[in-house]
Structure 1
Amino acid sequence: MSERRVRVYDDKQSLADAVAARFLKRLAEVLAEKPMAHIVLTGGTMGETVLASVAAAKGRDKVDWSRVTFWWGDERYLPSGDPERNETQSRRALLDELDLPGANIKAYPAPGEHPTIEAAADAYAAELAAAAPAGEAYPVFDLTFLGVGPDGHVASLFPDHEAVRDREHVVLAETASPKPPPERLTLTLPVINSSERVWLVLAGPDKAGALGLTLADANPADVPAAGVKGRMRTVFFVDAEAAAEVPENLLTRERFWTAAHEVPQTR
């Protein structure tokens, strides 16, 4: 049965450091059981900050990174190397420092690589299928990182957009994003929810409303983050500012607790 947990940290840096440490521990557990780990990364300030904390962690070089494949939940449809691309941010923060085969970095296509953005979405879907077990459309994702926007969006699945309701595709082209740039590529919600674990990382007071609505089980069409559910576990890693406005009726031992009140674990 899938579990949902919330862990609260004092500030953004302690949050990022804690997530990084848990990630390295969880990755070691996965690699002890499987020949290859599939990790889905996110972008944004906290996504990059977490990866920078991984890069600085003492345990970083204990990981056999040749056995880790990185994907992304979404991407801004911008030229390769553009500083606003999630791939560029992830490379800068961590990936370029690792002993990692180029084939293990599964970046989304950039403009010009395919005739249309829809063809680019199909190409990434085909790449996912090529890495999947026989008969499946995508690999088993061991861990998916997500950020959450102030409007509750995850990846490039925005409130009231058709993409958040899509149950047929693996990858979609979003051509009218309310955030610039308007063109993006994204995994669909069912693909995200196929992940063994999903970790959502939120920081800052502007995320408080979205977190509260998500934990109150809002309609995913209105608050896409509320529709996220990893197969085994969904964890919200948040700082105190993001947690400040969570409704009191959700601040219970069963639904919500701080890192100081728990026994450290990743499973």
Structure 2
Amino acid sequence: MHVEAQKASAVKLVESMAVSGARNERGEVRIHESLDELSTDLAYHIAELSEASVKERGVFAIALSGGSLVGLMGKLCEPPYNKTVDWAKWYIFWADERVVAKNHADSNYKLAKDGLLSKVPIVPSHVHSINDSVSAEEAADDYEFGIRQLVKTRVVSVSEISDCPKFDLILLGMGPDGHVASLFPTHSVLNERDEWVTFITDSPKPPPERITFTLPVINSASNVAVVVTGESKAEALHLAIDDVGPDGVSLPARMVQPTKGKLVWFLDKPAASKLDCSQFSE
């Protein structure tokens, strides 16, 4: 099939899926019938943002997380996207990373390399992984320094309202406790306002040492997508999205509120099972 025809059929497929795209003040919420539909919609969304960003800025700066997220991005490695996406213009970052060797099973870099980066023609020098041979604190400082250099050269944009980097897309998952990136509930790093990248050495989930983007950086992005699947996350998702009043637990996922960017939640039905759909408007 010709590339343009493949692209047209991808658009048709996404349009025909039973995606319920509703919204409240917490962003756009897309609930999918199956993981396959979610993957299809996510790939389409990322490819559209990539195309728009390359057209506007000449590059696409995207930050990834770990977990099941990379697997759900897998359709980007298939037609039409493996041919239509301008992979040479992608710059890859990590919204959080475990401070382990790059070939370690816990490494988000390894996860992304095995599941995505090795399957598409991304320029190796555009892949910005952490220095895995230093302490968590040094790794965070080093990573922030690298991002600052790329902001200077405009590979990464800068926010109009703060000095924060403005990534074209930050992709996040969410844990059953409502954590995003490596920002865990009640952890002091949730209050970090000065650093772009910070570190923790006491993650409640192993491995303990991690680096993570701070909330100001996440909330400065042009686009944020939070991908949540599975029934084990339904309660945290309800607290993160629904209007739960002043008594609502202040979950990290609820603190994701892009100041001038667009927030989209990609959910499967089990994860969305406790949402109060009466709060959404089409």
Counterpart of 1:15 in structure 2 is 38
Q: Percent identity?
A: 31
Aligned counterpart for 1:120 among listed residues 116, 124, 139: 139
Show the counterpart of 2:265: 236
Q: Give the aligned residue type for 1:73.
A: A
Query: Which residues in structure 2 correspond to 1:158-237 (within 5 Å)?
Result: 158-216=184-242, 222-230=250-258, 231-237=260-266
Counterpart code for 1:144 = I
Q: Which runs of 5+ in 2 are unaligned?
A: 1-24
Match of 1:225, as an amino acid?
Answer: A
Give the corresponding residue for 1:146.
172
CA gap of 1:183–1:10, structure 2 versus 1, over 3 A, is: same
Partners of 1:76 and 1:181 within 8 A in 2? yes
C-alpha contact (below 8 Å) 1:28/1:63 kept by paired residues: yes
- The separation in 2 between residues aligned to 1:4 and 1:155, in whole angstroms, is 18
* 1:66-85 aligned within 5 A: 66-85=88-107
Over aligned residues, Cα RMSD in angstroms? 2.1
Instruction: Give the aligned partner of residue 265 of structure 1.
Output: none
CA contact (8 A) 2:220 2:261 kept: no
Give the C-alpha shift of residue 93 in structure 1.
1.1
- Match of 1:99? 121
| Alignment check: 8 A CA contact 2:106 2:207 kept | no
**Per-residue CA distance 1:128-177 (angstroms, 9 max, x = gap):** 10000479665421111000111000000000100111111111111000
**Which segment drifts farther, 214-223 or 53-62?**
214-223
Contact kept in structure 2, 1:3 and 1:233, CA below 8 Å: no
Q: Whole-Å Cα distance in 2 between the matches of residues 57 and 160 of structure 1?
A: 43
- Cα distance, 1:33 vs structure 2: 1.3
Match of 1:58 in 2: 80
Is the 1:77–1:183 Cα contact (8 Å) retained in structure 2?
yes
CA contact (8 A) 1:164 1:221 kept: no
Q: Check conservation: 2:196, 2:217, Cα contact below 8 A.
A: yes
Q: Secondary structure at the match of 1:158?
A: coil
Deviation of the 1:216 alpha carbon? 2.9
Kept in 1, the 8 Å contact 2:96–2:182? The answer is yes
What is the aligned length? 248
Please, which moves more after superposition, 129-138 or 82-91? 129-138
- Determine the C-alpha separation between the residues in 2 that align with 1:202 and 1:167: 26
Please tell me whether the aligned partners of residues 131 and 138 of structure 1 are also in contact (alpha carbons under 8 angstroms). no
Q: Which has the higher contact order (CA 8 A, sep 6+)?
A: 1
Q: 1:104 to 1:21 in 2, by over 3 A?
A: same
* TM-score normalised according to structure 2 size: 0.82
The answer to whether residue 62 in structure 2 is matched with residue 32 in structure 1 is no
Assess if the C-alpha contact under 8 Å between 1:172 and 1:185 holds in 2: yes
Distance 1:217-1:134 versus aligned 2 partners, 3 A rule: farther
Please state how far the C-alpha of 1:222 moved relative to its aligned partner. 3.3
Question: C-alpha distance in 2, partners of 1:22/1:60?
Answer: 14
Contact persistence 1:160–1:221 (CA under 8 A) = no
The 1:253–1:159 alpha-carbon spacing in structure 2 relative to 1, beyond 3 Å, is closer
Partner AA of 2:257 in structure 1: K
